Copies of this chain bind each other. A is one copy, B any other.
Amino acid sequence: MPDSALKTPAPDSRTLADQVFTRLQDDIVLGVLKPGTKLGEAELAARYGVSRGPLREAIRRLESRKLLERIPHVGTRVASLELADLIEIYRVREALEGMAARLAAEQMTAAEVAGLWELLALHEQQQDLQDDVAYFQHAGDLDFHYRIIQGSHNRTLIDLLIGEIYHRVRMYRYQFSMTANRPRKALTEHRRIAEAIEARDGEMAELLMRRHISRAREYLEARQAPGSSDTNRSPTT
């Protein structure tokens, strides 16, 4: 639930099209509408209590974000996320978040760095207590990356990552009920990235972030390879 910071438009958007866009996106990301489901416009319009006009606008925007697949004159389906797609996304994340970490090391304010350490302290505490493990994997881990992305102070980079990429990552996590496979290691890597940022070492921050994400991708590729078919477990990144 603490995904509040990840929503794109204003929470109480004034226009109906924005409201239904937000609600539809949440229903897709959280798994209420499962991948492959065929969505009739009339059905959805009744579901959200709006006309087909605003609904169509929301559909087009979700289609741009790759959360919906539409075929003209045929219909709209919820995008089905293959593991191969997620691996592709991790390649993009490796490049983009590596750059974000580099820029964050150069551009983050002292207050932002302090906030980063507070977040890590919170994570460490929660992990020691084995408290709410789910939080760490979902919003917790994402929040760490989220702060570094914002720390880049590069609007284009932020919009791309938060607005175009992360929705699909979150969709994957909720869809497969992902459980972190190595939270302790991930936390250590997070801490080292924070150290590099605090030291204003951009190159090191980029290297560590890329390695961090690359390891998660390699884990996914191992799951994809034939022969290894364990239960749903996922990297923490």
Contact = CB atoms under 8 A, between A and B. Distances in A.
Interface stretch (A35-43, A95-103, A118-126): A95-103
A53 B51 CA distance: 13
Interface residues of A, number: 31
Interface string A5-41: 0000000001100100000000000000000000000
A103 to B, nearest CB: 7
A154 B53 CA distance: 34
B160 A91 contact: no
A99 B92 contact: yes
A6 B85 CA distance: 23
Interface stretch (A57-65, A192-200, A219-227): A57-65
A141 interface: no
A67 B164 CA distance: 16
A176 B34 CA distance: 46
Contact of A95 (B57, B60, B96): B96
A170 to B, nearest CB: 15
Nearest to A168: B156
Interface in A36-91: 53, 56-57, 60-61, 64-66, 72-73, 85, 88-89, 91
A60 B57 CA distance: 7
5 nearest interchain CB pairs?
A95-B99, A88-B156, A64-B64, A95-B95, A88-B154
